[in-house]
Structures are given as C-alpha cells and as structure tokens.
Amino acid sequence: MDRREWPLWEVFIRSRNGLDHKHCGSLHAPDARLALQSARDVYTRRQEGTSIWVVRAEHIVASDPDAKAELFDPAADKIYRHPTFYVLPDDVNHM
Amino acid sequence: MSVAIADDLRAAHVDYLLRLGDSALILGQRLSEWCGHAPVLEEDLALANVALDLIGQARLLLSHAGVLEGHGRDEDQLAFLRAEREFRNVTMVELPNGDFARTVLRNFLFTAFQREVMTGLQGSADAALAAITVKSLKETRYNLEHAAGWVVRLGDGTDESHARIQRAVDELWPYTEEWFAPDAGDEALAGAGIALCWSNTRGAWTDAVTPVLEAATLVIPAGTAFRSTGRLGVHGEHLGPLLSEMQVLQRTYPGATW
Amino acid sequence: MYTQAMDIAAARGEDPAPGQVTDAGYQAEFDAKIDRGDFIEPKDWMPEAYRRTLVRQISQHAHSEIVGMLPEGNWIGRAPTLERKAILLAKVQDEGGHGLYLYAAAETLGVSRDTLVEALHAGRAKYSSIFNYPTLTWADVGVIGWLVDGAAIMNQIPLCRCSYGPYARAMIRVCREESFHQRQGYDLLLAMMSGTAAQRDMVQDAVNRWWWPALMMFGPHDAQSLNSGDSTRWGIKRITNDELRQKFVDATIPQAKLLGVTVPDPDLRWNEARGAHDVGAIDWDEFWSVVNGNGPCNQERLAARIRAWEEGAWVREAAMAHAAKSEARAAGGR
C-alpha cells in the first residue's frame, strides 16, 4: 500500500478586507481543493477570515538565515530612508 | 378555509418541518460519531463542521415546528422526548455510518437533496422557514462541495476506494426513492405556497448528482422496488438504538434541566 | 498537559546528553538570542538537544490533544440538549484543531506528522495521562472543562512566550480558544448544581474522581523534575511544576466554593502565612502506574487511535492516487 504522507500546505488568511493575507499555519492535503477546504475548516472556525491562500510548502522559496547579515544589515545605515531623519521647522513638521 | 382543512394543513406543515429537522438532526448525530476517529485529522475537523451545521439547522427547524404545533414543545422536548414512531427523518440518514466512503457518499446524496429543497423554500409563505433556509443553504452548498470532492477522490482513487464507494452507491441509492415519492401533505402545502413538493426536486437533484458520480467513474444502479418510509414515521431497525443513546439523559432524569 | 510527560522522558534517560555542539560560533549566537529573549525560528541554527526537546514536547502536547478528544467524545452522542451537543462537539473539534496546530509546529523542526503519529502508536511517545481516566457521567464533561482544561491553560499560557517561534504562535492560538473550554465546563456544572439532587451528586462524584488526576497534570514535584534546567534556560518552560500547581489550586478552590462542591482532600487548608493553600500528599504511585500504561483506559485510548489510523489508510492512499491521476491528466492535456 502507498503510505506516502499527504503534502504539506502553508495557509495564509486575510482576516478582513483592507488587510494583507497573513501566514497562520499549515496542514496536510492531497490536492489544492481539499487544502483550501481544510484551511477553511481548520483556521476559520471563529470567523477569522474573508479570504484564504494555500501554497504547497515545497513551493515556497525562503531566504537563508545564514545570509541574514548580507541580506538585511546593509539597510541598517540608510537612515535617510526614514521620515524621522529629516528635521523640519515646527510649522511644517507634520509633513 | 374550513377549520378542519386548516388543521390538516397545519399538521402537514409541522410534519414537513419535522422531516427536514429530524433528517438534519439524525444525520448530525451520526456524523458526530466520527469525531476523534476520522482517517486524517483535517477530516475530523471537517466532519465535525458538517455535523455542527446539521445540528444547528435541526435546532431552528424543530423550534419552529414546536411553535407551529402549539403544544409548548421546544427543540429539546422534540429531540429528546419523542418516541421513534414520531420521528420523521428519511430512513437513509439513520443508517449506520459504515466506512468513510459510505459516510461521504450519504453526505453527498443527502446534501444535494437538501440544497434543492432549500432552494425551493427560499420564497415560502412561511417567513420563518424561508429565513431558516436562506441561512442553511450557505452551509449546505459548502458541505455539498466538500462531499462531492471526496466522492470523486474515492471513486477515481484506488481499486479499493472505488470498490468501497461503488458498494456504498449500490447500498444507499435505493433509499433515495423515498425522497421523491408523491405525498398528499406536500401537495397541499405547495398549493398554499408554504412548501415545495419534494417529488418535484427529482430532476434537479439527478442533474446535480449525476455528473459527480460520472466523474467518480461510479455506476448508478438500476431502480428497485424497495421503498423506505422514515418520513412517515416507519423506520428501519437502526433509529431505535440511535435514539436510546441520544435521549438517555433526558429519559433517565425526567424534569432535570441541563 | 505535556510538561509532566516531558519530565518523564528525561527522568528515564531517553534524552541524549545536551550540549553536543559542533560549531561554537553558532552556539554562542544561539545563546545570545536566548539571553536577549529573542525567538528562534525554524531555519535558524539550534543545538540538537534543543531541537529534540522541542520535538518531544510539542509532539507529546499534540498527541495529548488528539487522545484528549476521546474521553469527551464519549458523551457527544448523549449530550442532554441540542445546544450542549453543539457546544461539546465544537469543543472536541477544537481539541483536534489544537493537535493540528501543534503537529504543524513540530513539523517545522524537520519531522513529519506521520513519523510523530507512528511514535505515539508504537508507544514510544507519551501523551498526558489524564486522558487515561474514563468519563462516567455527563458531569465529567463539565469537570474536564473546568479542572482539566483549567490546569492545561495554567500550563500553556507561559508557553505563549516560549523561545521557539512556531510553538509560541501555536500556543497563542490554542490559548485564545481554550479559555472558552474552561468557561463552558463551569457553565455546564453551574446548570447541574442548580438542578436536582441526583445532578448535584453527579457533579460531586466527578470532582472526587478528577481532582487528584488534575493536580498530577502539573507533573512531579520540582525536586524530582530532572529536566527543568535546560528547558527553563531555553524558555521552553518558564514556571516550575509546583508553582503552576499552587497557582491552579489557589484559583480553583474559590470556584469550587461558588459551585457548591468540595475537593477530596482532607488536608487542604488555607495557609495564612504563605498566602496560599496547603495541599495533601499526592499519590505518585498512582501517577506512575497510569503513566506506565496501567490506567483504566490506556489500552482503549491507544487502540482507538491506532484503529482510526489504520482504517483510514485506504482513504489517505486513495486521495493521493486521485491527485496523481489528476496531475497526469492535466499534464497530458497540455
């Protein structure tokens, strides 16, 4: 008998319109249709969602935690990207 | 309208609500037996959701039937203190669950039927019934979609799953005949704009289930002379034990509140 | 519900010696994160002992949720009103959901759910021994909600801040849902206590049977709890067994009074000096006996899980076969 485990899917839920889909967990399903249905049954039992995405876990490409330094540290000193970097006269500082 | 006719119509109306309500209740009771025992955890949650929908529908329908009946019986008195012969559920829903194939096939056949009936009841002159079916129809559409997916998966899966669900089709199909048999009460209610004749849903139901069964490579059995009669209160042997389990606390401790 | 089981495995020497570090740099970075109270995420480097402890604890927690569906599930069919039936079914379903969230958290550590489930079925993994007691009356459903879920919440709330991100996030979701369980249990008992004498007797009887097992859920006394050191340091365990147990007793005794029941402990009394309740001696022989498989329902619980798994094998296989056929057809059609 074929005892292969059902593939793993990652579940993303939009809790209400206007917000992004947010990762909320995972589940196992043999196909996309059941993955979506199970996501509904598992992760929206208390009206947590208005929209669901499911993605096969193996299709997600993730950054390497070992590369965290080169990926993310270079942004640290670019403080001029943040609005608080610019000090304006009080009269216009709400800009 | 004479008083006698009005009384007859009311009795048929209560019966009609009980047929829908009891069928939902008994199927919900059966499905809840799966809780903790399903083939995969995701399906434990899914079947419990279907059962919760059905029990919720039963509560609304029985409450409404109790009000209409006018004897002061609420949903619990109707569910827990009626005898077997007073239950009006169709016979198919009282049958034991059997394996997962039989369970999902029954859900599929019955929820497809529920969908047709509820769709026809949206415009009922009984405003309370119409409101109940508007709410229930959403649940039913989803449950049908879930069950249909499984019918196809199992029918077009492995040799074993195909054999199991084909056997379920062969065993359960004859119980669908009961749903479409002509009924004088239905016709009177339909004439008054209150209800939809179940027998009129046969065409739409057949059109709905046939493509799914075909996609599942399943064969619809030839008709037989078998007729079940649960909706008339004459059940098979399985409802009695189910009720003795379901009703045990209310029967053992009369007058207790829970 | 799981802390006790975690201690047990360690006490029996099943655990590998912690600290087999191969890369001192990674270890130092990991230690620094822990010390700062940062979260560890799935792809981050972590010591093998940390990973193993988490897999064991999270999976035992998941198994407890799944096995825990059975004792209460025993009463769904007999719930005395339709509303109580729906509430209980929704509650037991939630336990299944919690098991699912937790298996998913464990899977982020590189072990599949099937592997974890097989370990349970083979008797290699534990689950909370509270579920090896039978549910004999409807009052048991209420008492499980009140005492067992109450004890579980005490155990679980600190885990919402545990160092492993996926576990902490799963626990936040679990705790949010679990508080409904304790309240519904207490509500059920309140209804019974305002009913007939037979109903009140049922409640007291259930409290008598579940009280001590509920206290045992917090695990052995701190002095006997060998594994606490690393787990505490790693933020997997933040409060000791005895501290949690004390907190539970102090919270529960006023609730028992309000309900109108007593707990079966003649030595229980308020200690003014400590500002806490003193509790009688716990029968640890019974605890170990149940943990070691001799509880009233150990065999039945595991057998029920194994049966569901084995009888469901053809279903899981069929779904995979159908998916493969569908994919092949889609590919052929292109």
Note whether C43 and C98 are within 8 A (CB): no
Residue C193 has pLDDT above 80, yes or no: yes
Q: Does C170 touch chain A (CB under 8 A)?
A: yes
Note whether A35 and A52 are within 8 A (CB): no
The pLDDT of residue C188? 97
Best mutation site among C44, C58, C87, C100 for testing chain A: the one with the most A CBs within 10 Å? C100
Residue C20 has pLDDT above 70, yes or no: no
What chains are in contact with A, requiring at least 3 Cβ pairs below 8 Å?
A: B, C
Where is average pLDDT lowest: B46-55, B62-71, B73-82, C229-238? C229-238
Find the radius of gyration of the CA atoms of chain C: 21
Neighbour tally for C309: CB within 10 Å: 18
Note whether C212 and C249 are within 8 A (CB): no
Residue B8 has pLDDT above 70, yes or no: yes
Give residue B206's identity as a one-letter amino acid code.
T
Whole-number Å distance between alpha carbons of C212 and C197: 24
What chains are in contact with C, requiring at least 3 Cβ pairs below 8 Å?
A: A, B
CB contact under 8 A, A41 and B153: no
Residue C172 has pLDDT above 70, yes or no: yes
Q: Which of residues 275-314 of C touch A (CB under 8 A)?
A: 313-314
Q: What is the mean pLDDT of residues A46-51?
A: 89
Compute CA B190 distance to the chain's CA centroid, rounded to the nearest angstrom.
20
Q: Can you give the pTM of this predicted structure? A: 0.93
CB contact under 8 A, C177 and A46: yes
Residue C8 has pLDDT above 70, yes or no: no
**DSSP-based three-state secondary structure for C168:** helix
Chain A residue with Cα closest to C319: A30
Q: What is the mean pLDDT of residues C281-294?
A: 94
Q: Tokens standing for A37?
A: 């249905």
B215-242, pLDDT tens digit by residue? 999 999 999 999 999 999 999 999 999 9
Residue B162 has pLDDT above 80, yes or no: yes
Residue C11 has pLDDT above 50, yes or no: no
Q: Which of C213, C219, C216 is nearest to C143 (CA)?
A: C213
Q: Which of C181, C121, C178 is nearest to C145 (CA)?
A: C181
Q: Is the dihedral of CA C41, C42, C46, C51 positive or negative?
A: positive
In DSSP terms, C270 is beta-bridged to C277
Whole-number Å distance between alpha carbons of C114 and A35: 17
CB contact under 8 A, B153 and C311: no
The pLDDT of residue A30? 98
**End-to-end Cα, chain A, rounded Å:** 67
CB contact under 8 A, C112 and A45: no
Best mutation site among B40, B141, B159 for testing chain A: the one with the most A CBs within 10 Å? B40
The pLDDT of residue B33? 98
Identify the band that residue B4 occupies on the pLDDT scale cut at 50, 70 and 90.
confident
Neighbour tally for B207: CB within 10 Å: 11
**DSSP-based three-state secondary structure for B114:** helix
Note whether C49 and C18 are within 8 A (CB): yes
CA distance C283 to chain B (A): 31
The pLDDT of residue C222? 87
Q: Chain A partners of C316 at a C-beta cutoff of 8 Å?
A: 6, 30
**DSSP-based three-state secondary structure for C109:** coil
Is residue A68 a part of any domain in this protein? no
> What is the DSSP code (8-state) at residue C38?
P
Residue A8 belongs to domain with CATH number: 3.10.20.520
Mean pLDDT, rounded, of chain A: 91
Whole-number Å distance between alpha carbons of C41 and C311: 36
Residue C19 has pLDDT above 90, yes or no: no
Q: Report the residue from B161, B245, B246 with minimal CB separation from C318.
A: B161
CA distance B42 to chain A (A): 6
B168-198, pLDDT tens digit by residue? 999 999 999 999 999 999 999 999 999 999 9
Q: What is the mean pLDDT of residues C233-247?
A: 87
Is residue A75 a part of any domain in this protein? no
The pLDDT of residue C59? 97
CA distances from C108 to C6, C44, C101 (A): 19, 11, 11
Per-state percent for chain B, helix, strand, coil, to nearest 5 = 70, 0, 25
Element (H, E) at A53: strand A51-56
Q: Report the residue from C97, C112, C321 with minimal CB separation from A42.
A: C97
C75-113, pLDDT tens digit by residue? 999 999 999 999 999 999 999 999 999 999 999 999 999
Is residue A80 a part of any domain in this protein? no
Q: Which of C332, C104, C314, A88 is nearest to B162 (CA)?
A: C314
Tally C-beta pairs within 8 A across A and B. 30
The pLDDT of residue C227? 60
Residue C256 has pLDDT above 70, yes or no: yes
Is residue A58 a part of any domain in this protein? yes
Identify the band that residue A79 occupies on the pLDDT scale cut at 50, 70 and 90.
confident
Q: Tokens standing for C327?
A: 């994919």
Best mutation site among A33, A41, A44, A54 for testing chain B: the one with the most B CBs within 10 Å? A41
Identify the band that residue C226 occupies on the pLDDT scale cut at 50, 70 and 90.
low
Q: Does C101 touch chain A (CB under 8 A)?
A: yes
Q: Tokens standing for C82?
A: 């339709």
Give residue C123's identity as a one-letter amino acid code.
G
Identify the band that residue C165 occupies on the pLDDT scale cut at 50, 70 and 90.
very high
List, in sequence order, the alpha helices (H) in chain C. Answer: 3-11, 24-36, 48-67, 69-73, 82-107, 113-121, 138-143, 149-156, 165-193, 197-216, 228-233, 241-259, 284-289, 298-311, 313-333
Q: Exposed/middle/buried for C325, CB within 10 Å: 0-12, 13-18, 19+?
A: middle
Whole-number Å distance between alpha carbons of C182 and C317: 38
Residues B9-252: name the CATH superfamily.
Ferritin, core subunit, four-helix bundle (1.20.1260.10)
The pLDDT of residue B238? 98
Is residue A42 a part of any domain in this protein? yes
The more confident residue out of C239 and C90 is C90
Q: What is the mean pLDDT of residues C156-183?
A: 92
Structural domains counted in chain A: 1
Q: What is the mean pLDDT of residues B47-53?
A: 98
Q: What is the mean pLDDT of residues C46-53?
A: 95
Best mutation site among C85, C114, C137, C316 for testing chain B: the one with the most B CBs within 10 Å? C85
The pLDDT of residue C223? 84
What chains are in contact with B, requiring at least 3 Cβ pairs below 8 Å?
A: A, C
Task: Judge if ipTM > 0.95.
Answer: yes
Is residue A51 a part of any domain in this protein? yes
Q: Report the residue from B154, B164, B249 with minimal CB separation from C138.
A: B249
Q: What is the mean pLDDT of residues B119-144?
A: 97
Find the radius of gyration of the CA atoms of chain B: 18
Q: Report the residue from B43, B100, B157 with minimal CB separation from C322.
A: B157
